[in-house]
């Protein structure tokens, strides 16, 4: 596409860029949708669930590996997952997009299409209801998601009780394997990311890449877990052991995992799975989509045990400790 | 302060940085505050007002001119203003903070203090109820604000009717004069921003700088305008003429401004005022804090008139058209 046919956003008015985005976002389901100072979203039970999460070029994605649509999809999916992890149903997204002024309009259009596709596929009825455009040297997508509990109590991290079954919905380790494939096989000699060659990946590897670049968290299982009586619920985003540690500490219990049920590394420590970690009273039949991976014990010497042993390593991703901008 | 006493966030765990922030945010007023996958905020009338706005280092602020506390304050204030501009009361903020890993902990602490101070001063009862930390080469603060209409109808941009009085609350042009002082007098020979010398600015100039760096929008007047019967309401963020044009186009009317009531430039085109532009039926006594600056007419040849003439120039700030990263 020529530059004339695909102009840089820096050559366009904000209104033109906004119009291109809004045409691709689908119908608003809000009481007041995009275009005013703020949107008005229904909160039918008098409460709103809200969370925010950001994707930054470099630490969180590389344009050689992620298409614009992939980025929009992932920015939506990771936020929708946090809403589901409270037992709630997503109702609206708000997107703050900061981008270099040489960003092509087609990129912005693809991003909007990805946001919409993720909402349509993962959280029907949820749409982008507002946002903000800013110029930045670093492409940054900050999304805030809202949700409704529809009268249910929120399911917190702090409710796990000794005797509960520990259960998981979604994949473990796929997203980390996808990232390892990207870093291991799709960089040039200087370490710079290069596009994925579809002919060079097996179907299972393609699924790993999909989990990393375009995740599909089991969102509908959040409200289902809440209805089934889950005592604790959280999104697994930073690796199972690290997130289970957070749940154990919030609940003042020990989470005892069965290694065979969890599977081999990177299932224990790989990040970005966006599965749902839940605890259920032992008498509850696990909702379809959840599988048992352990049990809750009284607080012991370690917050998390794997086959009775404290796991080695640090078990997860910490953005400040682990990101090395020189390595990328 | 030594590097040891004021470490870079890149040398700390995310939990340590989060703890330092949360200690400075004040008490949560949410049903579920920070620390879980998402927060739960009361939406007493079954609706929630939501908006997002971002500050990016470079286009939106310079660290030589803004303290960390100033930035936190401004990031809160500009979002709170958009909530008030719907006639709503702010209830919660969510803050996505992306920062270089050499950012000092004291900076993050100052930012949190500024966020809290703005909430306490401008929107008592509103607090930061969630957020996200990310590494980025470009310091970026994306804030989402939520609010409650407390049973009132939202006041949109589109409700202005011929015969209505056009009214304004807040200053016009001060923030633009403040920016002109910064660019004109507090840069070195190479054009690089240098800190403001307080001894070199008059009291009125200090007020201009305050309006630019630490704005205090008249937030309480948003709900008051709604209660008084405002037909249209919006935040004046991109210059009076440009924002009045948006209101006129949304309402399909002409906004006729009185030059004497508006005042000289940069009152007409200066950005970042964050006053409230409202229209009221002629029989309504303007709420204290609003002053009449014109009247609404049937749609004519131009969306906005100043003393009967279409204003010259382009009348406002457009981030894509106007930002020149080389100039800074």
Predicted confidence (pLDDT) per residue in A216-234, tens digit: 999 999 999 999 999 999 9
Residue carrying structure tokens 């007002």:
B49
CB contact under 8 A, B144 and A144: yes
pLDDT tens, A279-321? 999 999 999 999 999 999 999 989 999 999 999 754 454 545 4
State the alpha helices, DSSP H only, in chain B: 14-23, 68-84, 105-122, 174-185, 203-213, 221-228, 240-251, 259-262, 319-322
Cβ B127 vs Cβ B25: under 8 Å:
yes
Taken as a whole, chain B contains a residue count of 328
Q: Cα(B84)–Cα(B200) distance, rounded to whole angstroms? A: 35
Asked if B14 is an interface residue toward chain A (Cβ–Cβ < 8 A), one would say yes
CB contact under 8 A, A134 and B38: no
Residues in chain B within 8 Å Cβ distance of A17: 320
Strand partners, B275: B236
With a cut of 90, say whether residue A327 has pLDDT above it.
no
Dist. CA B161–CA B256, nearest whole Å: 12
* Alpha helices, H only, B123-187: 174-185
Asked whether the beta carbons of residue B134 and residue A50 sit closer than 8 angstroms, the reply is no
Structure tokens at B114: 């500024």
Q: CB distance from A135 to chain B under 8 Å?
A: yes
Instruction: Give yes or no for a contact between A310 and A304, defined as CB atoms under 8 angstroms apart.
Output: yes
What integer pLDDT is reported at residue A314 of this predicted model? 47
**What are the backbone dihedrals phi and psi of residue A252, each rounded to the nearest 5 degrees, phi first?**
55, 50
Amino acid A318: pLDDT: 52
* Beta carbons of A273 and A171 less than 8 angstroms apart: yes
Pick from B219, B266, B1: nearest CA to B91 = B219
Question: In this complex, is the C-beta atom of A151 within 8 Å of any C-beta atom belonging to chain B?
Answer: no
Question: What is the predicted pLDDT for the residue at A325?
Answer: 43
Flag if B40 and A154 touch (Cβ within 8 Å).
yes
Chain B residues with CB inside 8 Å of A45's CB?
46
Query: Chain A partners of B58 at a C-beta cutoff of 8 Å?
Result: 135-137
- List, as ranges, residues 211-250 from B with C-beta within 8 Å of A: 233-235, 250
- Pairing verdict, β A165-169 and A275-280: antiparallel
Query: According to DSSP H, which parts of B91-165 are helical?
Result: 105-122
Question: With contact defined as beta carbons under 8 Å apart, do B326 and A137 qualify?
Answer: no
Distance CA(B118)–CA(B111), nearest Å, equals 11
Which run of H or E residues covers position B71? helix B68-84
* Residue B312, pLDDT score: 75
Q: Which of A17, A21, A36, A275 to mutate to test the interface with B (most CBs of B within 10 A)?
A: A36
d(CA B164, CA B155): 14
Cα–Cα distance for residue pair B319/A77, rounded to 1 Å: 28
For residue range A102-157, list pLDDT tens digits in order. Answer: 999 999 999 999 999 999 999 999 999 999 999 999 999 999 999 999 999 999 99
Quick check: B269 and B175 in contact, CB under 8 A? no
- Between A42, A92, A134, which is nearest B60 by CB? A134
Measured CA to CA, the distance from residue B197 to residue B209 in angstroms comes to 12
Cβ within 8 Å of residue B93, ≥6 positions away: B76, B79, B80, B115, B119, B126, B127, B128, B129, B143, B144, B145, B146
A127-135 vs A253-257, strand pairing mode? unpaired
Of B14, B88, B135, the CB nearest to A59: B135
**Please, what is the angle between helix A221-228 and helix A68-84, to 10°?**
10
Residue A194, min C-alpha distance to chain B (Å): 21
pLDDT digits (tens, 9 = 90+) for A247-258: 999 999 999 999
Residue B146 CA to residue B30 CA, distance in Å, equals 11
Strands A39-42 and B47-56: antiparallel
Domains and CATH numbers, chain B: 13-148 (3.30.1330.10), 157-322 (3.90.650.10)
Q: How far is A29 from chain B (nearest CA, A)?
A: 13
Q: What is the largest CA-CA distance in chain A?
A: 65
CA torsion angle A99 A101 A105 A107 (round to 10): -40
Q: Do B58 and A14 touch (CB under 8 A)?
A: no
Contacts of A94 in chain B (CB under 8 A): 50-52, 144
Regions of chain B where pLDDT drops below 50: 314-315, 317, 319, 321, 323-328
* Tokens encoding A244: 């289970």
Per-residue model confidence (pLDDT) at position B314: 47
CB neighbour list of residue A35: distance below 8 Å, 6 or more residues apart: A22, B157, B250
pLDDT value of position A312:
75
Of B37, B51, B323, the CB nearest to A51: B37
Residue B140: its chain A contacts at CB < 8 A? Answer: 56, 98, 136, 138, 140, 142
- Chain A residue closest in CA terms to B78: A37
Query: What phi and psi, each to the nearest 5 degrees, are found at residue B117?
Result: -60, -40
Q: Is the dihedral of CA B233, B239, B241, B245 positive or negative?
A: negative
From CA B210, how far away is CA B207, in angstroms rounded? 5
The DSSP secondary-structure symbol of A215 reads -
Nearest one of A144, A287, A143 to A223, comparing CA atoms: A287
Strands B140-148 and B89-99: what pairing? antiparallel
Q: How far apart are CA B186 and CA B213, in angstroms?
A: 14
CB contact under 8 A, B85 and A49: no
Q: Using the beta-carbon criterion (under 8 Å), do B38 and A83 form an inter-chain contact?
A: yes
Q: What is the pLDDT of residue B3?
A: 54
Number of A to B CB contacts under 8 A, please give it: 265
| Rounded CA separation A157/A174 (Å) | 24
Task: Give B-chain residues touching A43 at CB under 8 angstroms.
Answer: 43, 46-48
Q: How confident is the model at residue A32 (pLDDT cuts 50, 70, 90)?
A: very high
B203 Cβ partners below 8 Å, 6+ apart?
none
Q: Which helix (H) or strand (E) holds B78?
A: helix B68-84
Q: Which of B:17-46 have CB within 8 Å of A?
A: 17, 31-32, 35-46
Contact B71, B141 (CB under 8 A): yes
Best B36, B92, B123 member to test A by mutation, with max A CBs in 10 Å, is B36
Q: How many other CB atoms are there within 10 angstroms of residue B285's CB atom?
A: 9
Cite the DSSP H helix spans in chain A: 14-23, 68-84, 105-122, 174-185, 203-213, 221-228, 240-251, 259-262, 319-322
pLDDT for A3 equals 54
**Distance to chain A for B235, nearest Cα, Å:** 7
DSSP A225-281: HHHHT-SEEEEE-S-HHHHHHHHHHHHTEEEEE-HHHH-STTTTT-----EEEEEE-
| Angle at alpha carbon of residue B218, lines to B199 and A15, rounded to 5° | 95
Question: Please, are residues A175 and A77 in contact by the beta-carbon 8 Å criterion?
Answer: no
> How confident is residue A5, by pLDDT bands cut at 50, 70 and 90?
confident
Rounded distance between C-alpha atoms, residue A77 and residue A122, angstroms: 8
B136 interfaces chain A, CB cutoff of 8 Å = yes
């Amino acid at each position: 596409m020529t530059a004339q046919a695909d102009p840089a956003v820096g050559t366009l008015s904000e209104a033109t860029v906004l119009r291109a985005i809004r045409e691709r976002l689908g119908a608003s389901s809000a009481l007041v949708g995009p275009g005013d100072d703020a949107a008005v979203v229904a909160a039918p039970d008098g409460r709103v669930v809200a969370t925010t999460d950001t994707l930054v070029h470099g630490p969180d994605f590389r344009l050689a590996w992620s298409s614009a649509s992939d980025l929009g999809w992932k920015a939506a999916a990771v936020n929708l997952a946090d809403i589901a992890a409270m037992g709630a149903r997503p109702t609206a997204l708000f997107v703050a997009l900061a981008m270099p002024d040489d960003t092509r309009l087609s990129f912005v259009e693809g991003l909007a299409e990805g946001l919409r596709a993720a909402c349509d596929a993962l959280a029907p009825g949820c749409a982008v209801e507002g946002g903000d455009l800013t110029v930045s040297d670093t492409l940054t997508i900050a999304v805030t998601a809202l949700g409704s509990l529809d009268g249910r109590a929120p399911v917190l991290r702090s409710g796990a009780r000794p005797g509960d079954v520990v259960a998981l919905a979604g994949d473990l380790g796929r997203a980390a394997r996808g990232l390892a494939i990207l870093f291991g096989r799709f960089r040039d000699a200087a370490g710079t990311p290069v596009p994925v060659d579809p002919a060079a990946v097996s179907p299972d590897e393609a699924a790993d890449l999909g989990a990393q670049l375009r995740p599909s968290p089991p969102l509908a299982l959040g409200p289902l877990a809440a209805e089934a009586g889950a005592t604790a619920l959280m999104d697994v985003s930073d690796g199972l052991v690290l997130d289970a540690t957070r749940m154990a500490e919030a609940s003042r219990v020990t989470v005892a995992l069965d290694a065979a049920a969890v599977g081999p590394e990177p299932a224990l420590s790989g990040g970005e799975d966006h599965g749902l970690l839940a605890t259920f009273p032992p008498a509850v039949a696990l909702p379809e989509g959840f599988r048992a991976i352990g049990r809750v014990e009284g607080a012991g010497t370690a917050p998390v045990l794997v086959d009775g042993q404290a796991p080695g390593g640090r078990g997860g991703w910490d953005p400040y400790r682990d990101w090395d901008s020189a390595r990328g």
